[in-house]
Amino acid sequence: MLQKFPAFAGVKGPVVVIVMDGYGIPKHEVGSAIDAARKPTLDRLFAECPNIRLRAHGTAVGMPSDDDMGNSEVGHNAIGAGQVYAQGAALVANAIAEGVIWQGEAWQQIVAGAKAGANGKAGVLHFIGLFSDGNVHSHIDHLKAMVVRAKEEGVATVRIHALLDGRDVPETSALDYVVPFEAFLQDISRDGFDARIASGGGRQTITMDRYDANWPMVARGWRTHVLGEGPQFANATEAVH
């Protein structure tokens, strides 16, 4: 729990929390839209009222490391919490490191289903999610850990549906993740184990509709991931090229 700020006794009456997405305090005035803007109310508040600068990224807001940027979701989770607690990606990383995730009912059910198969056919374990190391909503190392664990637990076939990022990581950076990951899959796919990227697409282009309730986008994902419709490629690297 954070310690009370000793120089401020508090205020009487209600406290209003105002969230201004995109506002930051720059290190330098040159090139800063914040400093160049006319904002008399904010300038007065900074000049006359108690204030303190807070870090909005990294371990200060529960991200795994100080190299991880914050975003609006991270900030909204942290504001008013009164303590630093692990955010989503950190929670998953901790659960993997401690082995807790493998004991969960969900993991055990999907592994058992993949091993048992259905209708006389061998089972397949499918993974779908954001494919990057952005560490806000996901991290590619989590996926690697699950693929490795699936093999260790006797799953024979894994198929991955990779939703490329370009938001929490640089645009056009897909190959930085696809190429080494396919090398990882090739290396682990032996001794009766077969893991491949089966389908994919770009974030906010297919499946991952965060803002607009864009059902055609979701439908494209369904047709691609479930029905296997769309252009065919030998591998994900070729598809990106």
Question: Would you kindly state where each structural domain of the chain is located, as residue ranges?
Answer: 1-85, 89-240
With H, G, I as helix, E, B as strand and everything else as coil, classify residue 125: strand
Q: Are 172 and 178 in contact (CB under 8 A)?
A: no
The one catalytic residue among 32, 65, 72, 138: 72
Q: Are strands 194-202 and 157-164 parallel, antiparallel or unpaired?
A: parallel
Q: Which residues of the chain are under the pLDDT cut of 50? A: none
Q: Are 94 and 88 in contact (CB under 8 A)?
A: no
pLDDT in tens, 163-188: 998 888 888 999 999 999 999 999 99
* pLDDT score for 81: 79
**Structural tokens at position 105:** 């009912």
Q: Are 64 and 92 in contact (CB under 8 A)?
A: no
* pLDDT score for 68: 80
Vertex 88, ends 84 and 86: CA angle to 5°? 20
| C-alpha–C-alpha distance, residues 128 and 112, integer Å | 18
User: The domain 89-240 is classified under which CATH number: 3.20.20.70, 3.30.70.20, 3.40.1450.10, 3.40.50.2300?
Assistant: 3.40.1450.10
| C-alpha–C-alpha distance, residues 195 and 191, integer Å | 12
* pLDDT score for 149: 98
**Structural tokens at position 107:** 């993991």
3-state DSSP helix/strand/coil percent for the chain, to nearest 5? 40, 10, 50
* pLDDT score for 1: 64
* pLDDT score for 228: 93
**Structural tokens at position 62:** 């529960």
The yes-or-no answer on residue 65 being catalytic is: no
